């Protein structure tokens, strides 16, 4: 019997396997339906916070060979712009490279990697049996947006308004110094396009929007991409792929008994930025440690650990996302972030890491909103 079986070897699964090994689990099995390296539809944006979590797991060198991206340019839905240096640089590392590095680190730490598509889980008193073949004392479901483990726990997929769809591709990078570009869109709000330079002459470009009950076609996503990034010709982009993003504004219970969920399987994607890699690594690490340390009550321990580490941030980012459903709030936030570097830092921490809303930011947005509403004096 395996001590910990991890389903899915993306960032959440690799971090879970690493953490389980570090917590002393002798036998850790990492399953994925694909061989690595494999592609994953993503913006490839790696926040500094993600690199921090990996450092805590003893993994270094994950962004080696990729130039830091020191700045972020954010265009509000009303057209206002804030462009500033990021508090800490981000990176753009294609997931084909990034995920393979993480999996290699998990294997080097002693996890066993096998190619296997999990279809069925049987939870028994002393173990979980997967597909009648593999038994684990505890199982981490890190199998992404269409998680089988989540379904086994009885949780449906996120409903509309809490689920987004995005397409990404690779195109020539914009001229000029490297910066992350995010262009939000008044049409179809909440929606935005991005261009993240990789450092090799290409950029990861994409467009996503929150689902509202109507199916979104590939042609629609590409039209919107072209409208928001006019210098990008989607027809010339390579590697175009779309994927769902379960947003953290709607999350199932993190686990029960011997089963726990991490990353996208737990709907841990930031509702503003679509960032999920930092959350996947952090939740994966907590899930792996809980599964290794107390397999029979992994769910309870993990739920408490996750609440302690991310609970307040998730409450704040959900509140901020609710406020941001009104476009003028976002325009006011862009204006405030342009005026005040501290507001900018708060907005970035909320979108890329584990930051919180603060009184100064709320006050500046509020003042900006009322000033904007006031009719001009003649």
Ligand X SMILES: Cc1cc2nc3c(=O)[nH]c(=O)nc-3n(C[C@H](O)[C@H](O)[C@H](O)COP(=O)(O)OP(=O)(O)OC[C@H]3O[C@@H](n4cnc5c(N)ncnc54)[C@H](O)[C@@H]3O)c2cc1C
Residue numbers of the site for ligand X (CB under 6 A)?
7-13, 31-34, 40-45, 117-118, 142-144, 148, 166, 168, 206, 208, 243, 245, 263-265, 269, 274-277, 280
Q: Closer CB to ligand X, residue 45 or residue 77?
A: 45
Find residue 196's DSSP bridge partners.
Answer: 204
Collapsed DSSP state (helix, strand, coil) of residue 370:
helix
d(CA 185, CA 188): 7
Element (H or E) spanning 141, and its range?
strand 134-141
- Beta-carbon contacts of 362 under 8 Å, excluding residues fewer than 6 positions away, are none
Q: Closer CB to ligand X, residue 148 or residue 330?
A: 148
- Beta-carbon contacts of 71 under 8 Å, excluding residues fewer than 6 positions away, are 83, 84, 85, 86, 177, 178, 179, 180
CB of 378 to ligand X, least distance (A): 47
CB of 5 to ligand X, least distance (A): 11
Q: Closer CB to ligand X, residue 7 or residue 324?
A: 7
Q: Which residue has the tokens 């609710």?
A: 322
Q: Which of 139, 67, 74, 62 is nearest to 108 (CA)?
A: 62
Q: Tell whether the torsion through CA atoms of 271, 277, 278 and 282 is positive or negative.
A: positive
List C-alpha distances in Å: 377 to 144, 371, 374: 54, 12, 9
Which residue of this chain has its Cβ atom nearest to ligand X in the complex? 276
Q: Closer CB to ligand X, residue 68 or residue 78?
A: 68
CB of 148 to ligand X, least distance (A): 4
Q: Closer CB to ligand X, residue 282 or residue 334?
A: 282
CB of 75 to ligand X, least distance (A): 17
d(CA 113, CA 106): 9
Q: Closer CB to ligand X, residue 274 or residue 299?
A: 274
Q: Closer CB to ligand X, residue 275 or residue 331?
A: 275
Contact 141, 6 (CB under 8 A): no
CB of 289 to ligand X, least distance (A): 16
CB of 22 to ligand X, least distance (A): 18
d(CA 11, CA 265): 12
Q: Which residue has the tokens 């993480």?
A: 102
Tokens found for residue 224: 């919107």
Q: Closer CB to ligand X, residue 227 or residue 371?
A: 227
CB of 180 to ligand X, least distance (A): 9
CB of 127 to ligand X, least distance (A): 18
Q: Closer CB to ligand X, residue 19 or residue 369?
A: 19
CB of 301 to ligand X, least distance (A): 20
Q: Which of 162, 272, 267, 167 is nearest to 216 (CA)?
A: 167
Collapsed DSSP state (helix, strand, coil) of residue 143:
coil
Residue 354 main-chain phi, psi, to 5 deg: -120, 35
């Amino acid at each position: 019997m395996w001590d910990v079986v991890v389903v899915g070897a993306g960032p959440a699964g690799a971090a879970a396997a690493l953490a389980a090994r570090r917590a002393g689990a002798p036998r850790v099995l990492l399953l994925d339906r694909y061989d690595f390296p494999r592609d994953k539809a993503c913006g490839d944006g790696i926040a500094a916070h993600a690199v921090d979590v990996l450092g805590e797991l003893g993994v270094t060198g994950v962004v080696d060979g990729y130039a830091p991206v020191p700045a972020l340019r954010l265009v509000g839905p009303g057209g206002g712009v804030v462009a500033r240096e990021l508090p800490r640089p981000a990176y753009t590392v294609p997931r084909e490279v990034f995920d393979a590095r993480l999996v290699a680190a998990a294997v080097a730490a002693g996890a066993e990697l096998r190619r296997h598509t999990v279809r069925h889980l049987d939870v028994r008193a002393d173990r979980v049996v997967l597909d009648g073949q593999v038994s684990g004392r505890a199982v981490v479901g890190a199998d992404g947006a269409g998680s089988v483990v989540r379904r086994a726990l009885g949780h449906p997929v996120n409903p509309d308004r809490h689920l987004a769809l995005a397409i990404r591709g690779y195109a020539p990078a914009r001229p000029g110094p490297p910066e992350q570009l995010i262009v939000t869109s008044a049409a179809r709000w909440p929606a935005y396009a991005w261009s993240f330079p990789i450092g090799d002459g290409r950029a990861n470009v994409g467009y996503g929007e929150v689902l509202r009950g109507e199916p979104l076609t590939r042609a629609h996503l590409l039209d919107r991409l072209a409208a928001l990034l006019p210098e990008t010709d989607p027809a010339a982009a390579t590697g175009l792929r779309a994927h769902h993003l379960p947003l953290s504004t709607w999350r199932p219970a993190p686990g029960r008994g011997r089963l726990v969920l991490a990353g996208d399987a737990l709907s841990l994607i930031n509702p503003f930025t679509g960032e999920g890699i930092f959350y996947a690594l952090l939740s994966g690490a907590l899930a792996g440690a809980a599964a290794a340390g107390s397999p029979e009550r992994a769910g309870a321990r993990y739920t408490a650990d996750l609440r302690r580490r991310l609970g307040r941030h998730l409450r704040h980012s959900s509140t901020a996302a609710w406020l941001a459903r009104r476009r003028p709030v976002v325009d006011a936030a862009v204006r405030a972030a342009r005026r005040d570097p501290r507001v900018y830092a708060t907005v970035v921490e909320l979108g890329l890491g584990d930051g919180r809303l603060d009184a100064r930011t709320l006050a500046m947005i509020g003042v900006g909103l009322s000033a904007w509403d006031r009719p001009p004096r003649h």
